[in-house]
């Protein structure tokens, strides 16, 4: 057990949990390995009161009130907080298409309001990091794992919509996470099940797939994709590739924020769970992410990660400064925002 818990000696990992409250075993495990933070899934979410209590339990287990708690609340298919308690939000593509039909000049405004409403939902529960926006640019024939989670097949439109999402999240006090860097849009298979291989020319990747990430490289958090890009590294997927992280993500794209892996339990990555986490951090990721709450897997992941590096700590601190600076100090009228969003999208969202 670590003698003193704090961000400076946290393990470079984000963990999930199995249920709606922590078991004694989970509480002991988190106390001993001191992960930087946690992530919630639908299995963890029943009522506002229960989620708020779970978030507090998680933070208490590591002795840090500011331990980040993540969630994927995009809207559409990827929405962990569900009706009837929470609103059903449109997918990224639905939001853009419906607004384009009703008020095409207000696309960015609709996307901002949608994000701001989601941020309000999360803030009430104590959740402070949302793994959105999706900046992937779908390609013809790509797998539906991205599909309508993408705002557009135009990289410049994806850029504008992604910026609006980040602005809405920041205004509500929520940290956005751009994903899946450097781009999941050309995947022909689901990376949850197998490793996609992207064979597009470098020039095409630079002009299309990398563009939204490059334009939003100033954002404080990003999430990798488990895709193979043989044009850059024929041996390792992006999450495990020193070449892609150094030359593409940190280099060409220019992203210098907190780089978190996509879920290590996805089948696109080979090796043991200890090896998966070791390889990700050795390649240059700041944080490993493991989501399913399986104790055996988490134990192995914990063995493969060390404490946060000074560079990672610096990136985390810069992100907090940005979030605090961009938080909206004015009161937010939730009901008025919902009415306006319904107007912009041509009818009630849900």
Name the catalytic one among 32, 66, 192, 333. Answer: 192
Tokens found for residue 123: 């803030």
List, in order, residues 6 or more apart from 189 with CB less than 8 Å away: 143, 195, 196
Only one residue has tokens 């689901």, namely: 190
User: What is residue 249's DSSP assignment?
Assistant: I
List, in order, residues 6 or more apart from 150 with CB less than 8 Å away: 92, 93, 134, 136, 137, 138, 158, 185
CA dihedral 159, 163, 166, 171 (to 10 degrees): -170
Burial (CB count <10 Å: 0-12, 13-18, 19+), residue 100: middle
Please report how many Cα atoms fall inside a 13 Å half-sphere around the Cα of residue 275, on the Cβ side. Answer: 4
List, in order, residues 6 or more apart from 28 with CB less than 8 Å away: none
190 flagged as catalytic: no
Only one residue has tokens 């009430």, namely: 124
**Cα–Cα dist 20/6, whole Å:** 25
Pair type for strands 73-75 and 78-79: antiparallel
Give Rg (Cα) of the chain: 19
**Cα–Cα dist 8/38, whole Å:** 17
167 flagged as catalytic: no
Tokens found for residue 259: 């780089």
Tokens found for residue 249: 């993500």
Name the catalytic one among 262, 263, 286, 290. Answer: 262
Only one residue has tokens 């920041």, namely: 170
Element (H, E) at 312: helix 310-326
Give catalytic residues, as residue numbers: 192, 262
């Amino acid at each position: 057990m670590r003698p003193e818990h704090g961000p400076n000696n946290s393990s470079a990992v984000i963990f999930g949990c199995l249920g709606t409250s922590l078991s004694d075993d989970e509480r002991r495990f988190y106390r001993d390995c001191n992960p930087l933070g946690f992530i919630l899934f639908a299995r963890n979410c029943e009522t506002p009161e229960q989620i708020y209590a779970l978030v507090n339990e998680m933070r208490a287990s590591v002795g840090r009130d500011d331990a980040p708690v993540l969630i994927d609340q995009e809207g559409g298919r990827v929405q962990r907080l569900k009706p009837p308690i929470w609103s059903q939000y449109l997918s990224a593509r639905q939001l853009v298409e419906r607004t384009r039909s009703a008020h095409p000049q207000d696309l960015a405004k609709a996307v901002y309001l949608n994000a701001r409403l989601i941020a309000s939902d999360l803030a009430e529960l104590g959740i402070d990091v949302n793994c959105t926006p999706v900046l992937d640019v779908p390609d013809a024939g790509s797998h539906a794992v991205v599909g309508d989670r993408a705002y557009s097949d135009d990289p410049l439109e994806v850029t504008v919509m992604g910026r609006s999402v980040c602005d809405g999240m920041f205004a509500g006090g929520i940290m956005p996470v751009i994903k899946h860097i450097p781009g999941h849009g050309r995947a022909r298979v689901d990376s949850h099940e197998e490793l996609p291989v992207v064979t597009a020319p470098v020039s095409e990747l630079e002009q299309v797939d990398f563009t939204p990430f490059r334009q939003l490289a100033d954002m404080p958090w990003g999430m990798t994709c488990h895709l193979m890009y043989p044009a850059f590294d024929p041996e390792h997927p992006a999450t495990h590739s020193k070449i892609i992280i150094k030359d593409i993500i940190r280099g060409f794209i220019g992203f210098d924020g907190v780089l978190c892996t996509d879920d290590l339990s996805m089948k696109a990555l080979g090796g043991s769970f200890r090896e998966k986490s070791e390889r990700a951090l050795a390649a240059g990721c700041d944080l490993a992410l493991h989501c399913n709450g399986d104790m055996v897997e988490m134990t192995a992941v914990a063995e493969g990660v060390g404490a946060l590096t000074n560079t990672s700590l610096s990136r985390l601190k810069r992100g907090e400064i940005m979030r605090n600076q961009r938080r909206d100090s004015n009161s937010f009228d939730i009901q008025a925002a919902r009415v306006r969003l319904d107007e912009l999208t041509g009818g009630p969202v849900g």
